[in-house]
Amino acid sequence: MKKINDQLKNLIINKWEDYLDGKVAYLPVVGPVYSSNKAFKKALLDLFDFSKFKKMVPYDKDRRWTVRKREWIIISEIVINDNLFVPVISFKKHGNSLKIFYYSQKKFNSHTFKKIKKFYKKIITKYHIKRLSIYCFKKPLIKKDLIKQVIFLKLITKKDDLNRTSKEVYNFYKLPLKTRKTFINFKKDNSLEGFDFLYKKIINKNLSAPTICITQDNKIIGAIGPLDIKKDAYGRKWLLPPYFGVTKEKRGLGYGQKLWTKAMFFAYNKGARYTLVQNKTNSKAMFFYKKMGLDIGAEYYILRVS
Report how many helices (DSSP H) and strands (DSSP E) the chain contains, helices first: 8, 16
AA identity, residue 146: L
In this structure, the answer to whether residues 91 and 223 fall within a common structural domain is no
Q: How confident is the model at residue 237 (pLDDT cuts 50, 70, 90)?
A: very high
In this structure, the answer to whether residues 54 and 70 fall within a common structural domain is yes
In this structure, the answer to whether residues 189 and 116 fall within a common structural domain is no
Q: How confident is the model at residue 67 (pLDDT cuts 50, 70, 90)?
A: confident
Domain extent at residue 85: 6-149
| 279 falls within a domain | no
In this structure, the answer to whether residues 10 and 139 fall within a common structural domain is yes
| Mean pLDDT score, 186-200 | 89
| 125 falls within a domain | yes
Q: Is the pLDDT of residue 165 over 80?
A: no
In this structure, the answer to whether residues 12 and 96 fall within a common structural domain is yes
In this structure, the answer to whether residues 82 and 182 fall within a common structural domain is no
- Residue 93: predicted pLDDT: 78
- Residue 259: predicted pLDDT: 94
Tens digits of residue pLDDT in 194-222? 899 888 887 777 667 789 999 999 999 99
| 233 falls within a domain | yes
How many distinct structural domains can be found in the chain? 2
Residue 70 makes CB contacts below 8 A (sequence gap 6+) with 90, 91, 92
Lowest mean pLDDT among 26-30, 35-39, 99-103: 35-39
Q: Is the pLDDT of residue 143 over 80?
A: no
In this structure, the answer to whether residues 167 and 265 fall within a common structural domain is yes
Give the domain-ending residue among 116, 149, 182: 149
To the question of pTM greater than 0.85 for the whole model, the response is: yes
CATH code, 211: 3.40.630.30
- Closest C-alpha among 107, 105, 113 to residue 134: 113
Q: How confident is the model at residue 281 (pLDDT cuts 50, 70, 90)?
A: confident
| Mean pLDDT score, 97-124 | 92
Residue 104 makes CB contacts below 8 A (sequence gap 6+) with 19, 82, 83, 84, 112, 138
In this structure, the answer to whether residues 145 and 24 fall within a common structural domain is yes
In this structure, the answer to whether residues 71 and 42 fall within a common structural domain is yes
- Closest C-alpha among 209, 214, 281, 205 to residue 245: 214
| 82 falls within a domain | yes
| 76 falls within a domain | yes
Query: Which one has a higher pLDDT value, 94 or 167?
Result: 94
- Residue 1: predicted pLDDT: 43
| 191 falls within a domain | yes
